[in-house]
Structure 1
Amino acid sequence: MSGLARLEPGSMTDAAGLALEPEPVPAEQAVSGGPTTAYTALDEPAAADGVGEIGVWEMTPGVMRDIEVDEVFVVLAGDATVEFEEPRLDPIELRPGSVVRLTAGMQTVWTVRATLRKIFISR
């Protein structure tokens, strides 16, 4: 996990070009392909305004299971499918420009075909 790449008021960052430090997906989450994930926060959580965190996350090709947090994200790059194990929902296809809402506790399986990078806002 990378440190905080602070996004100050009136400033900008290149979320698509940020250098991230990949880590292997934990064995209990990895399904196949040996994916890695990487992450950096752009802002510290501020409970007073209801926003938990703003950050950039990516996953390399492979398959992993996850239990989600409450977040909205926009895909910046990549190609992936997210399957929903709980609740049972239709799978979604992710490509640059996809905007997705997840709620806390959703159980998902992420199949990444081309490294996926997203910017997210969580609560």
Structure 2
Amino acid sequence: MTDIAPGAAVDLTALPIETEPVPDDALEAGAPVHGAAALAEIGAVEIGVWEMTPGVATDVEVDEVFVVLAGRARIEYLEPALPPAEVGPGSLVWLQAGMRTRWTVTETLRKVYVAP
């Protein structure tokens, strides 16, 4: 967890994040890397920052609400089948545990997330 003191201000757009390649079983196109930095825990809720470079990857989601800080992506909902979401700076998205998604990141995406 990144050490963030209560009352401190943090520039989330510049926060360093350690990344690694998207695992082969989730990779569909490109050579994206991704990573996250947990910032704080409030009760059982984690707040952090996640980033992925351009490419296409699938995921099985956890309960999460996030706001995009930078970048652009298209999120396709494979299960359940829902209309895709085009996201960019300022977009808020609610994901539910078990959703299967495909992320097509066209500009390095950075989001702040809140998850139990």
Q: Same fold (TM over 0.5)?
A: yes
Q: Does 1:115 align with 2:115?
A: no
RMSD: 1.0
Q: Which moved more, 1:81-90 or 1:16-25?
A: 16-25
TM superposition score normalised by structure 2 = 0.96
**4+ residue stretches of structure 1 with deviation over 2 A?**
44-47
More strand by share: 2
1-side partners of 2:105 and 2:83: how far apart? 17
Corresponding residue to 2:93 among 100, 107, 117: 100
Q: Does 1:35 align with 2:32?
A: yes
TM superposition score normalised by structure 1 = 0.90
Written as runs of structure 1 = structure 2, the 5 A alignment for 1:1-123 is 4-44=1-41, 46-47=43-44, 51=45, 53-123=46-116
Unpaired stretches in structure 2, ≥5 consecutive residues = none
Offset of 1:46 from its aligned partner? 3.0
State the number of aligned residues: 116
